[in-house]
Amino acid sequence: MTASNLVKLKPGDTIGILGGGQLGRMLAMAAARLGLRSQVFSPDPDSPAFDVVQRATCAEYADVEALELFANDVDVVTYEFENVPAATAMVLAARRPVLPAYKILETTQDRLIEKDFISKLGIGTADYADVSSVATLRTAIERIGLPAVIKTRRFGYDGKGQAIIRQGDDIAQVWDDLGTKSAILEAFVPFEREISVIAARSASGEVECFDVTENEHRDHILKISRAPAAIPEALAAQARAIAEKIAAALDYVGVLAVELFVVPGNGKATVLVNEIAPRVHNSGHWTLDGASISQFEQHIRAIAGWPLGKPVRHGDVTMTNLIGDDILSYEQWLTVPGATVHLYGKGTPRPGRKMGHVTEVTPASRSSTEAR
Amino acid sequence: MTASNLVKLKPGDTIGILGGGQLGRMLAMAAARLGLRSQVFSPDPDSPAFDVVQRATCAEYADVEALELFANDVDVVTYEFENVPAATAMVLAARRPVLPAYKILETTQDRLIEKDFISKLGIGTADYADVSSVATLRTAIERIGLPAVIKTRRFGYDGKGQAIIRQGDDIAQVWDDLGTKSAILEAFVPFEREISVIAARSASGEVECFDVTENEHRDHILKISRAPAAIPEALAAQARAIAEKIAAALDYVGVLAVELFVVPGNGKATVLVNEIAPRVHNSGHWTLDGASISQFEQHIRAIAGWPLGKPVRHGDVTMTNLIGDDILSYEQWLTVPGATVHLYGKGTPRPGRKMGHVTEVTPASRSSTEAR
């Protein structure tokens, strides 16, 4: 295993990307713009990322022979999703640097471990409790109160594997429906808004944050992001400091997203961390068109051992996700002045499937949350 | 042969690109962002464009079998360079729409035919004369005067195939050195500045021009472009009108670049057309980072039968080419705040070889030359 701080790619070198979705696709395109090649590993023959690379590996994540051949072809390995199986990462890490380090996944793949990690850093989260049975769920509800949110500890995303519990709900039924023995109960946070910080950290410990982004979800899926968030600079600075602290504590290399709630306080709002995504993130897609350097490029720079960029935002930016049948309106979006349309090359527009996004940049009117 | 106005691609369809250089590479990436696939045809196994597509054809342009297979794989054909052999274009056009139409190349591949075409439209150019021998060269010099520029009619680019003739030069020697029997003598234009217009035209005749760009050459190769050009709006409007007229007269579909000289007049500057490039153009690279839609995307939209975009510029833009050994400074460029670095994935930095470029966007201070 090669130490991450030894990675220093040259133009023409190859990045191995685990996962062939739109994030892998946009990572590969960012790498190409920097003169780097990418090889994508994905079990899905219809992977959108396959379209933008010369070399692809279509194999299961448990296919050790395919993983070894893949590792031989690339100079560094990264991933577009946090649920990389530990065994997959270990096979690769034995041969090539894997960045971010896969041991970070042990923290972020489990909501309970993640929350404990954040709390130990002295960073605020919603109240939470470990739940492994109806009995422990009842005890947790007594302490935390209702409404509250029950979530599986692992493999949840876009609202999957979670449910709100309200006064009067049948607790035993809720527990049965969740279908797990490892869950976490979280207090329902009466948030004023949801924000996120996209932070990049280099192997040498340098950190660059993009302007704090404000996010709107529909049906638990991100619908709209706006940058900069309409929050006071002090709060934005607090959010960025949290992201930096988390990145440093994880000895993180690459781009990391931290989702936070803004909670109204006694005359002064505060932030609580909702979750960490150890990867490029949908709420950072605005950086592709709204800033001089995108989150994808920052990630590539970080894992390539190249200097992080100093992104400059081009104005006020709004990113709208095209989810499911939203994609059918792509021709209307093509005619909107100033709109930049991204289509991910996916076939069927199933409900909830992220098919593309649109960025709109207008001259800066909201104040920037940073001036670096 | 399919009529160009029948082309209407769907996301997932495939664009065939002749030529595998940086222009083909950036066209393919623009297509990918719109959910379209590309297949690149190039005789050079080290083609930079091969890196960003899943399917590539490495064959000679005269390989009819390879051309036919390529045509079968794609839905429309375009090209990144103007010197596509006529026979190549004809083989492809018999099977798939080729856009822009290859008959346009008959005009733009020959400097004399191109100048005649421009003049007949009532558009100003430098004085010029057909030259096919020392005798005709002497006659042309008598009429046009010195200094003047002698150029081969075909296959010239980046200053290759041309020479300045000054008072006292040995005319017979100049003619011998040029090594052609088909040349054009052009009056030396005492220009104040060089500008270009990047125009996109759809099959339905819609035209969208980017802001007029100002260009600085070094050793006959574009070094720096700035948008918008520091010229009066009336002059910019005149330049755009010329580009629109040329595009319409060619029944052009795709992106076209028109290079012009700004010539000081009696208190009022005028413009003369220098040359036409029937393709995306180096002086339009700034649009990748400096506008909501790039020249590459406009070209893809036009040939796909999709609506042209209404590009919005993000500020004042400067594009600097990285030529030859300039590429060795890429790491310094990576650290410049607000700079966006593009490396083309080429191997050896030979003198004069375009290896990459850098875009810098600053808040608009120069007035825009258009407000559309």
Q: Can you list the alpha helix ranges (DSSP code H) found in chain B?
A: 22-33, 64-73, 86-93, 103-108, 111-120, 134-144, 171-178, 233-249, 287-290, 295-304, 330-334
Q: Residue A156, annotated ligand binder?
A: yes
- A184 and A283 in contact (C-beta within 8 Å)? no
For B195-209, how does the pLDDT look when each residue is reduced to its tens digit (9 = 90+)?
999 999 999 999 999
pLDDT for B135-182, tens place per residue? 999 999 999 999 999 999 987 666 678 999 999 999 999 999 998 889
Segment among A3-17, A183-197, A301-315, B172-186 with least mean pLDDT: A3-17
Mean pLDDT for chain B overall: 94
Mutate to test the interface with A, among B29, B46, B308, B312 (most CBs of A within 10 A): B312
Beta strands, E only, A246-315: 254-263, 270-277
**Over residues A71-82, mean pLDDT:** 96
Q: Which CATH architecture has domain B193-362?
A: 2-Layer Sandwich (3.30)
CB-facing half-sphere around the CA of B315: CA atoms within 13 A: 21
pLDDT tens column, A128-153: 999 999 999 999 999 999 999 999 99
Which pLDDT score, from 0 to 100, does residue A370 have? Answer: 41
Give yes or no for residue B212 having a pLDDT over 50. yes
Which pLDDT does position A266 carry in this prediction?
A: 81
Pairing of β B128-131 and β A270-277: unpaired
pLDDT digits (tens, 9 = 90+) for B273-302: 999 999 999 999 999 999 999 999 999 999
CA–CA distance, B311 with B208 (Å, rounded to integer): 8
- pLDDT of B1 > 50? The answer is no
The DSSP code sequence of A163-174 is EEE-TT--HHHH
User: Which residue, chain included where needed, has tokens 């990049």?
Assistant: A200
Distance from CA of A283 to the nearest CA of B (A): 18
- Structure-token pair, residue A152: 């599986």
Average pLDDT score over residue span A100-123: 95
* Best to test chain B binding among A53, A292, A346 (most B CBs inside 10 Å): A292
Identify the closest residue of chain A to B315 by CA–CA distance.
A314
Percent over 70 (pLDDT), chain B:
96
Portions of chain A given CATH number 3.40.50.20 = 4-99
The answer on pLDDT for A273 being more than 60 is yes
**In chain B, which residues fall in CATH 3.30.470.20?**
193-362
In this complex, do A310 and B53 lie within 8 Å of one another by their Cβ atoms? no
> Which class is domain A4-99?
alpha beta
| pLDDT tens-digit readout, B20-59 | 999 999 999 999 999 999 999 999 999 999 999 999 999 9
What is the residue whose two structure tokens read 């093509």? A334
Q: Across the interface, which of B289, B293, B347 has its CB nearest the CB of A292?
A: B289
Angstrom CA distances, B357 to A32, A308, B32, B326, stand at 13, 18, 21, 10
Q: Which residues contact B284 (CB under 8 A, 6 or more apart)?
A: B196, B198, B210, B213, B225, B255, B257, B294, B295
Q: Do A331 and B306 touch (CB under 8 A)?
A: yes
Query: How far is the alpha carbon of B38 from chain A, nearest alpha carbon, in Å?
Result: 8
The counts of H helices and E strands in chain B are 11, 17
Binding residues of B for ATP: 111, 151, 156-162, 186-189, 194, 217, 274-275
Band (pLDDT 50/70/90 cuts) for residue B2 is: very low
* Cβ pair B345:A35 closer than 8 A: yes
User: Each residue of A33-60: pLDDT tens digit?
Assistant: 999 999 999 999 999 999 999 999 999 9
Measured distance CA(A163)–CA(A151) in Å, rounded: 7
User: Is residue A105 within a helix (H) or strand (E), and if so which, with residue range?
Assistant: helix A103-108
Could you report the per-residue pLDDT of A211-252, keeping only the tens digit for each?
999 999 998 899 999 999 999 999 999 999 999 999 999 999
Domain with CATH 3.30.1490.20 in chain A: 127-187
CATH 2.40.340.10 describes domain A127-187: no
- Rounded to an integer, the average pLDDT of A87-115 is 95
The model's pLDDT over B330-360, given as tens digits with 9 standing for 90+, comes to 999 999 999 999 999 998 899 999 999 999 9
Produce one character per residue of A160-193: b if its CB has 16 or more CB atoms within 10 Å, e if not.
Answer: ebbbebeeeeeeeebbeebebeebbbbbbbebeb
Question: Taking CB atoms and an 8 Å cut-off, how many pairs form between chains A and B?
Answer: 131
Cis peptide before B97 (omega within 30 of 0): no
Kind of pairing between the strands at A339-343 and A221-227: unpaired
pLDDT-based confidence at residue A369 (cuts at 50, 70, 90): very low
Which H/E stretch holds residue A141? helix A134-144
Q: Are strands B354-362 and B339-343 parallel, antiparallel or unpaired?
A: antiparallel
